[in-house]
């Protein structure tokens, strides 16, 4: 089976924890509805190494100039201080191209502010860290803001920085990574730590919960 590629944008100050659940779930075939359907590749502004907020060095698999929406299943934009400094505009324009061609974009925390500044949230339901955080960008989409951990509207997924689990859940749902019962058990396990959800996860993934 040929992999479909999910692209993770990486940059200096990237908030390590925000895309972690999503990336691990996509790359790990365990419990997946169609194992090895997807792979994650990192994409930077260039192929120069970057350093995350947690001090991890990442060497991007490719540069942004080589990314084509038609060859991607999704673009994931993590948060990080660079967004609040007005940076990553090239990634914002790539997100615009993705959305214009019907390829989903998932943005969390500071990345939502980057999209807001570019007007990409003006007509879509969305969320972020707080309404005030986005209002500071002077965007015109405040009427579409939802006070939820994560929101999906068409091809756009948004989440606040304190909601990496919910962010991952929306990504998994959009990409159809897990069956519904498996996804519910996965979320319950990591949200609550209740071992009953692990048993439910195993049961669902082996067909016992269908």
The reported pTM is: 0.96
110 is an active site residue = no
- Tell me the per-residue pLDDT of 21-39, one tens digit each, with 9 for 90 and over: 999 999 999 999 999 899 9
Of the candidates 45, 50, 92, 109, the residue annotated as catalytic is 109
In the chain the first and final C-alpha atoms are separated, in Å, by 25
For range 191-199, the mean pLDDT: 96
Query: Nearest to residue 11, comparing CAs of 80, 102, 95?
Result: 80
Q: Are residues 105 and 187 in the same domain?
A: no
pLDDT digits (tens, 9 = 90+) for 100-134: 999 999 999 999 999 999 999 999 999 999 999 99
> Residue 208 pLDDT more than 70?
no
Whether 210 has a pLDDT exceeding 90, the answer reads: no
pLDDT in tens, 34-69: 998 999 999 999 999 999 999 999 999 999 999 999
Judge if 202 and 186 occupy the same domain. yes
Count up the domains in the chain and report the number.
Answer: 2
Q: Do both 84 and 148 map to the same domain?
A: yes
Domain span including residue 202: 179-209
Residue 209 has a pLDDT of: 46
Closest among 116, 185, 180, 109 to 144, alpha carbons compared: 116
């Amino acid at each position: 089976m040929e992999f479909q590629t999910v692209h993770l944008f990486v940059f200096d100050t990237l908030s390590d924890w925000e895309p972690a659940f999503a990336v691990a779930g996509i790359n790990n075939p365990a419990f997946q509805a169609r194992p090895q359907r997807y792979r994650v590749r990192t994409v930077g502004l260039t192929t120069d190494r970057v350093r995350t907020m947690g001090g991890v060095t990442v060497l991007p698999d490719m540069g942004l100039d080589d990314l084509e929406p038609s060859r991607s299943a999704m673009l994931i934009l993590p948060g990080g201080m660079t967004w609040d400094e007005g940076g990553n505009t090239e990634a914002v324009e790539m997100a615009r191209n993705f959305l214009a061609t019907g390829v989903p974009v998932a943005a969390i925390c500071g990345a939502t502010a980057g999209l807001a500044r570019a007007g990409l949230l003006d007509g879509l339901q969305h969320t972020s860290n707080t309404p005030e955080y986005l209002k500071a960008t002077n965007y015109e989409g405040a009427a579409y803001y939802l006070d939820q951990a994560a929101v999906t509207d068409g091809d756009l997924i948004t989440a606040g920085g304190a909601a990496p689990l919910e962010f991952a859940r929306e990504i998994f749902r959009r990409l159809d990574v897990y069956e519904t019962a498996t996804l519910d058990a996965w979320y319950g396990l990591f949200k609550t730590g209740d071992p009953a959800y692990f048993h439910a996860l195993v049961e669902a993934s082996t067909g016992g919960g269908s």
